[in-house]
Amino acid sequence: MPLVVVFATAALGNALAPSLVGTHPAVLLAMNATTRHLLLTSGSVDVVTWTLLGLGRRLLEDPFLYFLGRWYGDDALAWVDRKVGGGRGLDLVRRRFKLLGYPLVALAPGGVVCLLAGASGMGPVAFLTLNILGTIAALVALRAIGEEAAQPIEEVVAFVARNPVPLTVLTILLTGGWLVRRRRAGQHLP
């Protein structure tokens, strides 16, 4: 159930992003701290708030996914393959995870990687340490990119702020279409 709430909040944040990015950027980050949202809010949210929201939101689902993998192992991975897909690519990463697991958790701790970390038997302390340090490193890099590209990012945010209604309608339709497509393909949210 917690994962359903996390993923539903992320989808809602994505859909409402144009309405939130200019007026309530911290709320947007709390709902969905994707790379694009982190970059778009890097100039409008103070560094401490931005870092705490980005870190918290990015780490929110990872322990749940790790423990699903830990508790359900191959069954959890088979479920991911059925719902999200992955096929041979997922199988290849799964077979090589003992070798690649630590760098993957540090560099790309997405949902599948967190499940694989748990299913592979990676210890919780190692998982959390790599996940947190890797996420912090990604946030530092994104903040630096946001500062370097401040002018174009500000222009994008200003454009979005001038057109929140049509852009929000568009993102709601795109998010809804994405959810419908996933549902038809059998790729439900958790």
Q: Would you give per-residue pLDDT tens digits along the chain (190 residues)?
A: 677 888 889 888 988 999 999 999 999 999 999 999 999 999 999 999 999 999 999 999 899 889 988 998 888 777 776 666 555 566 667 777 888 889 999 998 888 889 889 988 899 999 999 999 999 999 999 999 999 999 999 999 999 999 999 999 998 898 888 778 777 766 555 5
Q: How far apart are CA 112 and CA 110, in angstroms?
A: 6
Within-domain flag for 116: yes
Structure tokens at 137: 């490193």
Regarding whether 56 and 93 lie in a shared domain, the answer is: no
Regarding whether 7 and 42 lie in a shared domain, the answer is: yes
Regarding whether 127 and 75 lie in a shared domain, the answer is: yes
> What distances in angstroms separate CA 49 from CA 42, 53, 55, 131, one per listed residue?
10, 6, 10, 20
Within-domain flag for 166: yes
Question: Domains in the chain: how many in total?
Answer: 2
Within-domain flag for 142: no
Within-domain flag for 163: yes
Residue 45 structural domain: 2-60+149-184
Within-domain flag for 140: no
Q: How far apart are CA 126 and CA 61, in angstroms?
A: 17
Regarding whether 46 and 103 lie in a shared domain, the answer is: no
Non-local (6+) Cβ contacts of 97 within 8 A are 104, 116, 117, 120
Q: Which of 59, 57, 111, 119 is nearest to 85 (CA)?
A: 111
Q: How far apart are CA 39 and CA 28, in angstroms?
A: 12
Regarding whether 130 and 74 lie in a shared domain, the answer is: yes
Within-domain flag for 189: no
Instruction: Say which residue the tokens 């499940």 belong to.
Output: 115
Prediction pTM value:
0.82
